[in-house]
Amino acid sequence: MKGTLYKDCAKKLVFVLTIVVTMAFTSGILAAADLKDVKKKGVLRHLGIPYANFVTGAGDGMDIELMNAFAKYIGVRYEYVPTRWNDIFGDLTGEKVKPNGDDIEVVGQVPVKGDVAAAGITVLSWRKKVVDFSVPVFPNHVWLIARANSPVQPIKPTGNIKKDIEAVKNIIAGQPLIGKAGTCLDPSLYGLEKITDKIESFPGSVNDIAPAVIKGKANLALLDLPDALVALQKWPGKIKVIGPVSGRQDMAVAFSKDSPQLREAFNKFLHKIKNNGAYQGVVKKYYPYVFAYDPEFFEKK
């Protein structure tokens, strides 16, 4: 009798603990970190990934400095939270998603680990269904690159971006091409899978695409503006830009859709530092040559 009673109590205890743990986990998933929540906690958790000069991996970077300054602007402490490209939006929203063209599929629930995501994130249609973006922080273009000694020659710019993209696609047709699925370097975003069936999604970090091209592991690859600027500066004379695959894109800071006030506070902060020149100073520190590619983007307004 006592044994049966003990077993029943133990089962009830396990059941109660399971509910408590589940509720705690779910609460962590669904918790919205809006401005008042961030101020109450006293810390801004910045989700970042080492990528180009936005997050260098050495404790600095353009987005590191911007998020540090934003934390001070709203009166809280800054904290860097490392993540990965496959996890960054789940760590921000609590929902792990899988892109499918311009659409998404929710594939699981995960704990929320950060309040804001900033790592040179390009605004894409499928991403806008997952998060809300700030006003643009940095311009982007996706280019086709090759080794400097490749027989493939850069196109002659016409002044018409559509004609230039078409010329680049003619070069890509039927050729092996490296991209990166799930990022702005995904060839399917630009219809490239329709002109070549020799597409490979790069298995490593996007930071390693340029070195792979230089080492001869790929002849043609997609690379975006910030990464290309870093690569051209780091390995001068080793790669060349063939031409554009996309028109102008925007990079921005990502926020949970449950954080409208935090997003609005960042937009006001960015407007302030653009007008007083502090923003341009940070950009110049990490991307000194970008002003030549898109000077209008960095004008004070």
pLDDT number for residue 3: 52
CA atoms within 13 A on the CB side of 91: 21
Interatomic CA distance for residues 220 and 94, integer angstroms: 36
The pLDDT mean for the chain works out to 89
The radius of gyration of the chain's CA atoms, rounded to the nearest angstrom, is: 23
Tell me, what's the pLDDT at 13?
44
Tens digit of each residue's pLDDT (9 = 90 or more) over 213-270: 999 988 999 999 999 999 999 999 999 999 999 999 999 999 999 999 999 999 999 9
pLDDT higher than 60, residue 12: no
pLDDT at site 103:
87
Tell me the β-bridge partners of 82: 48
Tell me the per-residue pLDDT of 55-89, one tens digit each, with 9 for 90 and over: 998 999 999 999 999 999 999 999 999 999 999 99
Looking at domain 31-139+253-298, does it have CATH number 2.70.70.10? no
Whole-structure pTM value: 0.85
Query: Which of 165, 95, 160 has the alpha carbon at shortest distance from 129?
Result: 95
Do 31-139+253-298 and 142-244 show the same overall fold? yes
Residue type, 80: Y
CA–CA dist 92, 105 (Å, integer): 16
CB 32 within 8 A of CB 64: no
Q: Is the pLDDT of residue 28 over 90?
A: no
Q: Where are the domains of the chain?
A: 31-139+253-298, 142-244
Task: State residue 295's pLDDT score.
Answer: 84
**pLDDT tens sequence across 130-179:** 999 999 999 999 999 999 999 999 999 999 999 999 999 999 999 999 99
Q: How many CA atoms lie within 13 A of 259 on its CB side?
A: 32
Task: Inform me whether the pLDDT recorded for 1 exceeds 80.
Answer: no
- CATH code at 142-244: 3.40.190.10
Of the given ranges (3-12, 18-27, 176-185, 234-243), which has the lowest mean pLDDT?
18-27
**CB burial of residue 261 (10 Å; 0-12, 13-18, 19+):** middle
